[in-house]
């Protein structure tokens, strides 16, 4: 007989859909602890731009996998899966449900579906060379190279996704194998392999409403001092070329802080990229048959939380 354990619940969805506020209500009501699944929130000091839960929110509900590494320390999907498994096991040992919350699609899929992951650790010299090549020839050159050595990966990775392109080329150089060779059949037939009893709720809303939420959140983050946060990171000596500072929002507004772009251009570029990112998240998640979708259009946070709990059978 399989060992019984407390539940594992997941709330996922595109950026700005309202996952954080809903998850706080659900976790408080059900006595769960929250496991963040956000590839930017793992970095210390990147608080405002990642819309990281505030100290007040963290005081309401225990949160895990925030502020894991410094901005210049390597962290990837394999690190996340290992850390998340340990955290979930620890929460269960204490007899509490674990609630995974986030929108980083690759991290979520790897955690839930048990994807095979490249074992090659990052190599600073290889990355530095690939970064220099991208700076000289453009990100599209990286994509053309990947297309030549690994068409399957090139089809899945956007031509402007510099971080993932560099990682794919790095894995090929270090292992002699295309990164797609490490991808299991889970990519073709996604299902809950690692946590088959997990209940996964996806939040979505009409595109027009999501765009408004993204725009509203941008203004809120800027009012909270996002530019000052980036200025402080640069003053601490962190390079704008770091993976952490090339994440969505940080890369655009770093150009504003450096004086290369006007604020309005930074906002325009961010909104364009954020909306494209939200679409990529949606198209990734909608291929997951195990996700129970909840349309949040026109509903309050409290109404959404109540529906989530009903979906969880609570």
Q: Which sequence spans correspond to the domains of the chain?
A: 8-116+186-311, 124-183
Backbone φ and ψ of 190, nearest 5°: -65, 135
What pLDDT score was predicted for residue 164?
85
Alpha-carbon gap, residue 211 to 201, rounded angstroms: 21
Rounded to two decimals, what is the model's pTM?
0.85
Question: DSSP of 113-155, one letter per residue?
Answer: H------PPP-HHHHHHHHHHHHHH-HHHHHHHHHHH-HHHHH
Return the CATH number of 124-183, one of 1.10.1040.10, 1.20.1050.140, 2.60.40.1120, 1.10.20.140: 1.10.20.140
How many helices (DSSP H) and strands (DSSP E) are in the chain? 13, 6
8-116+186-311 maps to CATH 3.40.50.300? yes
What pLDDT score was predicted for residue 36?
98
What pLDDT score was predicted for residue 146?
94
Answer whether 8-116+186-311 and 124-183 agree in fold.
no
Find, among 50, 177, 156, 155, the residue nearest to 106 by Cα. 156
Q: Is 202 exposed, middle or buried (0-12, 13-18, 19+ CB in 10 A)?
A: buried
pLDDT averaged per 10 residues in sequence order, the chain, 314 residues:
79 97 98 98 98 96 98 92 97 97 93 75 85 90 94 85 88 87 67 93 97 97 98 98 94 97 98 94 92 96 97 86
What pLDDT score was predicted for residue 235?
98
């Amino acid at each position: 007989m399989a060992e019984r354990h407390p539940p594992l619940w997941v709330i996922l969805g595109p950026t700005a859909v309202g996952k954080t506020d809903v998850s706080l209500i659900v976790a408080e009501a059900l006595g769960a602890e929250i496991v963040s699944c956000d590839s930017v929130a793992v970095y210390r000091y990147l608080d405002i731009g990642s819309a990281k839960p505030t100290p007040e929110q963290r005081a309401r509900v225990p949160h895990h996998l925030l502020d894991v590494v410094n901005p210049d320390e390597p962290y990837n999907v394999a690190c996340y899966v290992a850390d998340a498994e340990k955290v979930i096991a620890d929460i269960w040992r204490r007899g509490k449900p674990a609630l995974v919350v986030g929108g980083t699609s690759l991290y979520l899929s790897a955690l839930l579906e048990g994807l095979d992951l490249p074992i090659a650790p990052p190599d600073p010299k290889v990355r530095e060379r690939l970064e220099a090549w991208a700076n000289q020839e453009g990100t599209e050159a990286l994509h053309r190279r990947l297309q030549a050595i690994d068409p399957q990966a090139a089809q899945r990775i956007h031509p402007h996704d510099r971080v993932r392109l560099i990682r794919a080329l790095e894995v090929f150089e270090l292992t002699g194998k295309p990164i797609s060779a490490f991808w299991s059949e889970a990519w073709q037939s996604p299902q809950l392999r690692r946590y088959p009893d997990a209940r996964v709720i996806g939040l979505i809303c009409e595109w027009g409403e999501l765009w408004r939420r993204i725009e509203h959140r941008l203004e809120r983050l800027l009012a909270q001092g996002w530019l000052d946060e980036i200025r402080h990171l640069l003053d601490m000596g962190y390079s704008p070329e770091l993976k952490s500072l090339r994440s969505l929002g940080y890369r655009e507004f770093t150009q504003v802080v450096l004086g290369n772009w006007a604020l309005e251009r930074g906002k325009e570029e961010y909104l364009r990229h954020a909306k494209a990112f939200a679409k990529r998240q949606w198209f990734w998640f909608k291929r997951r048959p195990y996700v129970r979708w909840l349309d949040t259009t026109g509903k309050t946070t409290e109404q959404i939380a109540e529906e989530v709990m009903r979906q969880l059978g609570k």
